[in-house]
C-alpha cells in the first residue's frame, strides 16, 4: 500500500499525511509549491513536484511511482483565489481534478478520495428549512454564491463519469467549515483566526453576526474521515457529508472563552449569516465508518494549543 496525497502540505493535506504516517503507510506528497516549514514536520514522507493542471506533470508522478495504490486528492485553489483569477481556478480546479480522475482510472488505483465542499448545497439554509442538509439534497447553479461550489459540482459529475466508464473507485467528502491553526488561503480565513488570535492574546473580529449558525469540524477529524474512506474495503456511497457541530457565532465564542476566559472576540452584527448552509448532517459517514468527530469544545482546545505551540506558549 502506498498513498499519493496531492496538496499534501496544505491545511488539510498536512493532517492527512501525518495521519497516514502514524499508521505506518508510505506517503508521497505531491505539491506545486512545497511549504518548507510544513514539510519539516511531515517526517518520513516523500515529496515530488506536481502541477495537477499539467497532464504531463501528473503522468510523470505516476510513472515515477508505479507502486502507488491510493490517492487523496487535495490539490485545489480555494474560493478567494478562484474569484481573483478564474482562468487559473478552472485550470487547477476543473482540468486538474479531471487529470487526477483520469490517472486514477488508467493506473488502476484501488481508490481515489477527494474533497468536494458543503458549498455544493448553495449559499443559504433557507431552501432546506430547519433540518440537517443531507447528501441527497441539491442546489442548482442559480442558487450558488461561490464559483468554487459550482466547480465542485462539476468535479462530482466528472468523477461519477469515470466510475461508470472505468469502474475506478472514487469517493468524495463535502466538508463544512474546517477549523484549525495554519489556514493561509481562502474565503474563510476567519475559521482559523477565531481561535488562533485569542490563543496568543490578539483580538479578533468575525465578519458575521453572533447569531449566524454554521457547522464546524476540526481539521484532524476531517483528515481521519478521508483516510478511513480511502482504506475502507467497500463503500456504500459516492458522496459523504463530514458533519460536525452546528453552532451560532456566540456559541463558538463561548467555546473559545471556555479555555481562554479573556479572549476578545467581536462580531459584525450587520451581516446576519455566512453565505453557506447552517446545518450539515454527517450521519451517513458516521454509520459507515464508525467514527464521530470530536466535540467542538475539544476541537477548539486542540486548535488553541496548535496556535500557542507555534507562538512559544504553554498549552491550555
Query: Residue 291 in 3-state DSSP?
Result: coil
**201 three-state secondary structure:** coil
Pairing of the two strands 204-206 and 27-31: unpaired
Q: Within 10 A of 281 (CB to CB), how many other CB atoms are there?
A: 18
Q: Quote the pLDDT of residue 34.
A: 73
The rounded Cα 89 to chain-centroid distance in angstroms is: 17
pLDDT of 38 reads 77
**Contact yes or no for 5/17 (Cβ under 8 A):** yes
Where is 18: in which H helix or E strand?
helix 13-22
Give the span between the Cα atoms of 27 and 136, in whole angstroms. Answer: 33
CA 236 to chain centre: 21
Q: Is 194 helix (H, G, I), strand (E, B) or coil?
A: helix
pLDDT of residue 291: 97
Measured distance CA(76)–CA(84) in Å, rounded: 14
Domains and CATH numbers, the chain: 3-176+219-241 (3.40.50.720), 178-215+245-280+294-310 (3.90.25.10)
What is the distance between the alpha carbons of residues 295 and 244, in angstroms, rounded to a whole number? Answer: 8
pLDDT at 6: 97
Nearest-angstrom CA–CA distance, 134 and 198: 33
pLDDT tens for the chain, residues 1 to 316 = 999 999 999 999 999 999 999 999 999 999 987 767 777 788 889 999 999 999 999 999 999 999 999 999 999 999 889 999 999 999 999 999 999 999 999 999 999 999 999 999 999 999 999 999 999 999 999 999 889 999 999 999 999 999 999 999 999 999 999 999 999 888 899 999 999 999 999 999 999 999 999 999 999 999 999 999 999 999 999 999 999 999 999 999 999 999 999 999 999 999 999 999 999 999 999 999 999 999 999 999 999 999 999 999 999 9
Nearest to 183 by CA among 67, 31, 80: 80
Amino acid at each position: 500500500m502506498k498513498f499519493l496525497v496531492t496538496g499534501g502540505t496544505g491545511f488539510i493535506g498536512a493532517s492527512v499525511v501525518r495521519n497516514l504516517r502514524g499508521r505506518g503507510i508510505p506517503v508521497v506528497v505531491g505539491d506545486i509549491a512545497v511549504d518548507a516549514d510544513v514539510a519539516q514536520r511531515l517526517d518520513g514522507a516523500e515529496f515530488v513536484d506536481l502541477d495537477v493542471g499539467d497532464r504531463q506533470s501528473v503522468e510523470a508522478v505516476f510513472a515515477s511511482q508505479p507502486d502507488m495504490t491510493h490517492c487523496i486528492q487535495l490539490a485545489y485553489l480555494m474560493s478567494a483565489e478562484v474569484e481573483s483569477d478564474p482562468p487559473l481556478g478552472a485550470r487547477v480546479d476543473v482540468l486538474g481534478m479531471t487529470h487526477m480522475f483520469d490517472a486514477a482510472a488508467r493506473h488502476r488505483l484501488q481508490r481515489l478520495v477527494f474533497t468536494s465542499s458543503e458549498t455544493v448545497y448553495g449559499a443559504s439554509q433557507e431552501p432546506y428549512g430547519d433540518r440537517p442538509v443531507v447528501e441527497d439534497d441539491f442546489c442548482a447553479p442559480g442558487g450558488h454564491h461561490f464559483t468554487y461550489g459550482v466547480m465542485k459540482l462539476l468535479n462530482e459529475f466528472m468523477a461519477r463519469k469515470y466510475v461508470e466508464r472505468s469502474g475506478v473507485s472514487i469517493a468524495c467528502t463535502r466538508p463544512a467549515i474546517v477549523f484549525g491553526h495554519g489556514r493561509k488561503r481562502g474565503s474563510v480565513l476567519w475559521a482559523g483566526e477565531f481561535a488562533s488570535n485569542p490563543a496568543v492574546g490578539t483580538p479578533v473580529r468575525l465578519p458575521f453576526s453572533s447569531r449566524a449558525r454554521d457547522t464546524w469540524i476540526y481539521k484532524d477529524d476531517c483528515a481521519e474521515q478521508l483516510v478511513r474512506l480511502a482504506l475502507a474495503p467497500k463503500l456504500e456511497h459516492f458522496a459523504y457529508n463530514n458533519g460536525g457541530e452546528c453552532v451560532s457565532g456566540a456559541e463558538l465564542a463561548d467555546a473559545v472563552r471556555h479555555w481562554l476566559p479573556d479572549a476578545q472576540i467581536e462580531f459584525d452584527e450587520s451581516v446576519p449569516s455566512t453565505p453557506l448552509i447552517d446545518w450539515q448532517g454527517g450521519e451517513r459517514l458516521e454509520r459507515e465508518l464508525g467514527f464521530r468527530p470530536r466535540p467542538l469544545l475539544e476541537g477548539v482546545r486542540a486548535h488553541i494549543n496548535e496556535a500557542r505551540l507555534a507562538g512559544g506558549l504553554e498549552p491550555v
